[in-house]
Structure 1
Amino acid sequence: MIDISRVHMIGIGGAGMSGLAHILLERGSVVSGSDRADSAVIAGLRSAGAYIATTHNAANLSLSGEFPTAVVTSFAAIPKDNPELVAAHEHNIPVLRRSDLLAELMRTKKEILVAGTHGKTSTTSLLVAAMVHAELNPSFAIGGQLTGTGQGAHNGSGAYFIAEADESDGSFLSYHPEIAIITTVEPDHLDFFHTAAAYLQVFKDFIGLLAKPNELTTAGQAQTAGTLIACTNDSGAAQLAKYAHIQGHQVLLYGTAPACAELPEIPAGAVISKITPGAKGSLVQANIYGTEIEFEVSLPGEHMALNAVAAVLAGHLAGGEIPKLAAGISAFGGVRRRFDIRGVIPANNPHFAGLTVVDDYAHHPTEVAAVIGAAKETVMAQKAGGRVIVAFQPHLYSRTQQFAAEFAAALAAADIVISLDIYGAREKPVAGVDAGTIGNLINNYDAGTQVILEADLMQVPAHIKELAGPHDLVITMGAGSITTQAGAILAALEPAEED
């Protein structure tokens, strides 16, 4: 056990950290923390009782009046010479990763973990919405905020704790899942893992955390068998499903009917028979654990339909009734930065009537392709002749270099692409890696895609104002600061009336 009665969190305003801070406060812990600037998230934590500074200083460790029993940090985002981190080591205060804290918070609950290269946040959010609607009152920690409530975490009274299992540094091996969903698996985070084989291996190790049927603990006690829920439409997840099945784990597949038929030796828990795209999402017909059901998914694209049936299947294994779980999916309002509709220009605007601005976190080629595909389905369903315009900001110099061609191929499906300079985050600039690294390759895949190279993020609204027209769908895309431009675009296209 870890003493979390008094916790200090460095970088407390981040999506993942702030959620855990709320759970700690709900459980009666004293919480302090620091971040670089004030925000609405920090204001919310302060009002809930947290002590927070907006500078990094060794003195912050005693913000609450006493030294903490533990200090929590993100090893990737917080440098080792951070003064609070240095002071914690000097005073022999235990320093934990966010994943260590999450593992401790989940220790008394049954764990449902959502893992995968893509789709973790969306699937976790859908599962939360489903289980809340089914009155299971789960605890949860999401790497984002639900658009309806603004919540990213909650300390529920139910038996289950739902969380994303982040593979980026292997820290998800700290958990003990009873139910694990794997959405997709393909090479990523190679700055940490270095090879695709090492990246795949960490998922195999994660599967090894699931108890097998009839397996005993080290003390000789019977364990509840864990269940792996894997997407057979994704080749990487399907490969892991076969591996887990051979290893003797309990596995259920989910996917479209043809994909599930490719692995007849593994039971299919959720089989989609039909997906009907709509103007704002999809209508999904599926057989989930023997129940035929039809329900709406508010987010467009096949990938979101797959995420939704995985959520219903997992919720059913946790004791939820399938109709109630599906109704929760239909009522789901979305999660911020995942096909997040930021605004629609009114019909009375003579130049941009019906134009929709969407913000999305996609920062890997597969994610980019899925989001643009969903956008094109949406535009076609509206039958108004709109185009898909993407302002894309690559995330990390290393990822841009490794996947430049794949990014270009994915972006080529859009009608217009504004290719922006890289958001480096924790990486230093690399000479020659810029807006053109991806942008100059796009027309190799589709000569008809209009490409604009732009080094200045602040010029995006001006470009959109010049290029866009009625019923277009504009996407601000990437894991960095591009999200700030969604509101700016709306303001540029529909300026507020002066008094």
Structure 2
Amino acid sequence: MNLGAVHNVYFIGIGGIGMSALARYFVAKGKHVAGYDNTSTEITQALQDLGADIHFSDDVSKIDSKYFNLESSLIVYTPAIPKDHSELDYFKTNNFNVLKRSAVLGEITRQTTCLAVAGTHGKTTTTSILGHLLNECSVPMTAFLGGISENYNSNLILNGTEVTVVEADEFDRSFLTLSPDLACITSMDADHLDIYGDASELIKSFKDFTECIKPNGKLFVRNGLPLDGITYGVEDDSDYSAKNVKIENGSYVFDVQTPSGLYKDFKFNLPGRHNLSNAIIALAMSVEYGLPHHQLAKGLASYKGVKRRFTYHIKKDDFVFIDDYAHHPEEINAVYQAVREMYPTKRVLAIFQPHLYTRTRDFVDGFAESLSKFDELLLLDIYPARELPIEGITSNWLLNKIENPNKKLIQKLELINEIKKSNAQVVLTIGAGDIGEEVKHINKAFNIAN
């Protein structure tokens, strides 16, 4: 469709992280923006502060009349919205322009030079690094992020429209709507098996995604993945690789081996080898786009991270509190590696909220193995998100599989007292549900300045 002819954009599920980035984009474009979500959050409040009209009940009568103009209105929805949602049903039944978020993103990227980041892990951090690097190099671009950038306090970086930087989301095969010029794949670990059925179908979808790359485009893949492309890695023989890696004052200092030579003296402030790998692919795509390495080094050193991705909230000699979005066994392993690298001798308490009954069912043994590594573990009930309960799939079932003598299933109301009982010097909250809402309570309870 012709987005230029659209004057009114209505979002069903406007508070989602990807939906809200699109909403910000259309606000910046001067469109009328409104939407529904079921809960008021910091994200919806920020959109309201920008002028978006948002309500929190599924009620067609609450929608302003301007959004009922067939010719000038676009209705955008997220796949997380139930099929029986009355607002969505109304717009579909009455033949409005109704598109999934991914389809709208596809329309935007089709008219631009598109840099897309795909993978079951690392998308948000890599996309935000890439967007930040391009922005620091004054590239006229728009970056749609799946998290809130610490540098911009937003999930949208808007500095022009010639280039788009996007997360290529494999959920619901959404990334197949994109048309990237440069694309990377960070990982293809089994996930979203409620959508794909088995891991082979997920891998097939990533291969299908590579077919979406524009003619003469480039594919980047993490070294070891079963795909042909420009490879990247850390201290290996990849086309782009971090070399001479050292840790100085909690930051990585390293050189970058490229096909054209060795670029020296890079600094990166996020802990964890997985994050260093994310930085390397963002640098590789930036170099292949044509940006100079001295500007990239300066940009990388100023990168602050994404909220809820190994985010420090308390950082004292005797007490550290970190919050992370990890919700897959491999992501938890990466968090463990990072915290052990930074705090090799300190006792670590992990607080984990499983996300989705299906993911817990499909990866229970992986979760048990990864969670067993921490010194102590507090486990919360499963966060259901879009799902109904599955008989027998509970946090207690997972708890019984975890081989850690210092483990306990608790309710969120017990969280502060349980942390106070512990003698851990490092506390981690982990999960993709509403566990992030507990951060402010933990900060308040310990009353320690950031």
Q: Tell me the TM-score normalised to structure 2 length.
A: 0.94
In the alignment, which of 246, 252, 255 is matched to residue 230 of structure 2? 252
CA distance in 1, matches of 2:37, 2:88: 13
Which residue pairs with 1:453 in the alignment?
A: 409
Which residue pairs with 1:217 in the alignment?
A: none
Contact 2:255 2:262 in 1 (8 A): no
Query: Counterparts in 2 of 1:150-189, with a 5 A limit?
Result: 150-157=153-160, 159-189=162-192
In the alignment, which of 313, 326, 335 is matched to residue 362 of structure 1? 326
In the alignment, which of 330, 348, 354 is matched to residue 388 of structure 1? 348
Is residue 91 from structure 1 mapped to residue 94 from structure 2 by the alignment? yes
Quote the offset at 1:275 in angstroms.
2.6
Which residue pairs with 1:18 in the alignment?
A: 20
Is residue 409 from structure 1 mapped to residue 369 from structure 2 by the alignment? yes
Quote the offset at 1:65 in angstroms.
6.3
Which residue pairs with 2:36 in the alignment?
A: 34
Contact 2:109 2:180 in 1 (8 A): no
CA distance in 2, matches of 1:461, 1:133: 40
Count of residues in Structure 1 that have an aligned counterpart in Structure 2? 444
Letter in 1 for 2:236: P
Quote the offset at 1:137 in angstroms.
3.5
For the residue of structure 2 that corresponds to 1:79, the secondary structure is coil
Which residue pairs with 2:417 in the alignment?
A: 462
Quote the offset at 1:66 in angstroms.
4.6
CA distance in 2, matches of 1:431, 1:98: 32
CA distance in 1, matches of 2:127, 2:201: 25
Contact 2:67 2:73 in 1 (8 A): no
In the alignment, which of 303, 317, 338 is matched to residue 274 of structure 2? 303
Which residue pairs with 1:272 in the alignment?
A: 242
Which residue pairs with 2:10 in the alignment?
A: 8
Is residue 337 from structure 1 mapped to residue 337 from structure 2 by the alignment? no
Contact 1:6 1:29 in 2 (8 A): yes
1:83-130 alpha-carbon deviations (Å, 9 max, x no partner):
211110232112110001111222321000000010000100111111
In the alignment, which of 47, 67, 74 is matched to residue 45 of structure 1? 47
Contact 2:130 2:286 in 1 (8 A): yes
The farther-off stretch of 199-208 and 44-53 is: 44-53
Which residue pairs with 1:286 in the alignment?
A: 256
For the residue of structure 1 that corresponds to 2:227, the secondary structure is helix
Which residue pairs with 2:226 in the alignment?
A: 239
Contact 2:142 2:163 in 1 (8 A): yes
Is residue 131 from structure 1 mapped to residue 134 from structure 2 by the alignment? yes
Specify every segment of 5 or more residues in structure 2 that has no aligned partner in the other structure, as ranges: none
Quote the offset at 1:156 in angstroms.
2.6
Letter in 1 for 2:430: M
Specify every segment of 5 or more residues in structure 1 that has no aligned partner in the other structure, as ranges: 213-224, 242-250, 261-267, 346-352
Is residue 72 from structure 1 mapped to residue 50 from structure 2 by the alignment? no
Q: Tell me the TM-score normalised to structure 1 length.
A: 0.85
In the alignment, which of 307, 312, 323 is matched to residue 294 of structure 2? 323
Quote the offset at 1:271 in angstroms.
1.5
Quote the offset at 1:392 in angstroms.
0.6
Letter in 2 for 1:392: F
For the residue of structure 2 that corresponds to 1:145, the secondary structure is strand
Post-superposition, which runs of at least 4 consecutive aligned residues in structure 1 deviate over 6 A?
none
For the residue of structure 1 that corresponds to 2:38, the secondary structure is coil
For the residue of structure 2 that corresponds to 1:395, the secondary structure is coil
Which residue pairs with 2:196 in the alignment?
A: 193
Quote the offset at 1:279 in angstroms.
5.2
In the alignment, which of 411, 427, 431 is matched to residue 474 of structure 1? 427
Letter in 1 for 2:180: P
CA distance in 2, matches of 1:376, 1:495: 23
